[in-house]
Structure 1
Amino acid sequence: MSNALQQLMRERLDRQGWSYGEAARRGGIPRSTVHHLATTERLVRMPQPATLEGLARALDLPLDAVRRAAAEACGIHLYAAGGGTAPDPEVDVLIASLQKLSVDDRRHVAALVESLLDRRTGPAETDN
């Protein structure tokens, strides 16, 4: 059984008649990376942004389509950005990853975020 990224890659490579090597050349990414993404049933982690960008170029597909397929292959659900703002892949991955944490770990993450936000709006930045 293949995952969403494998299905997307296989369909595109078959339709265009491209090999893993041709896709790698087109995307400027290693052939081994293309092969790994095309053959690994369950990705352990989300590929790096540069890898996803290269794969989107390689497959001649929108980055968002490749990112969503990769996220699904990792078991991550990406949420749509609200309010008409441009999607931010880091925010999508952070939100989706929180679901995998325990309640206690989510509390720790929330405390860290609050601390970082307090630091950004604290006296250090307002003294400019």
Structure 2
Amino acid sequence: MRERLDRQGWSYGEVARRGGIPRSTVHHLATTERLVRMPQPATLEGLSRGLDLPLDALRRAAAEACGINVYADAKEPASPTSPADPEVDLLIASVQKLSSDDRRHVAALVESLLERAPETD
């Protein structure tokens, strides 16, 4: 985000105005080394408009800033035009709030569900 601001010569205020989000939010997200939680979907949409970047790229960057590894699905390449799945966004944003013990339980459940899912080729 900082790189984009510097390259375009945009201020926090300009990005905020273009995206319809508070300047303080743009400043916080641009200057925070590691995010504690995922920004709200509306915030990411505003940043997408304000920074003139694809929403998917901002989602991935925000997830990585939260310490969440994002892997592209080899069968379905990421596309900036594909609609977001609010259930996936909610899961990603919520899982970081769980204790490490609860995250292990969730991971085990997901692995179990994936193992029993039929292969689709």
TM-score for both structures, normalised by structure 1: 0.64
Consecutive unaligned residues of structure 2, counting only runs of 5 or more, are 114-121
Q: Which residue of 2 aligns with 1:45?
A: 37
Q: Kindly indicate whether residue 107 of structure 2 is the aligned counterpart of residue 91 of structure 1.
A: no
Determine whether 1:18 maps to 2:14.
no
Number of residues paired by the alignment?
102
- What does residue 125 of structure 1 align with? none
**Runs of at least 5 residues in structure 1 that lack an aligned partner in the other structure:** 1-8, 115-128
Hey, what's the Cα distance between the residues in 1 that align with 2:13 and 2:101? 44
Which amino acid counterpart does residue 91 of structure 1 have in structure 2? V
User: Which structure has the greater CA radius of gyration?
Assistant: 1
Higher share of residues assigned helix: 1
Any runs of at least 4 consecutive aligned residues in structure 1 with deviations exceeding 2 A, and if so which?
A: 78-90, 92-98, 100-110
Counterpart AA for 1:12: R
Q: What's the CA shift string for 1:11-45, capped at 9, x where partnerless? A: 11112111000000000000000000011111000
Q: 1:71 aligns with which of 63, 69, 79?
A: 63
The 2-side partners of 1:20 and 1:37 are apart by 10
Identity %: 75
Equivalent residue number for residue 21 of structure 2: 29
Aligned CA RMSD, in angstroms, stands at 3.1
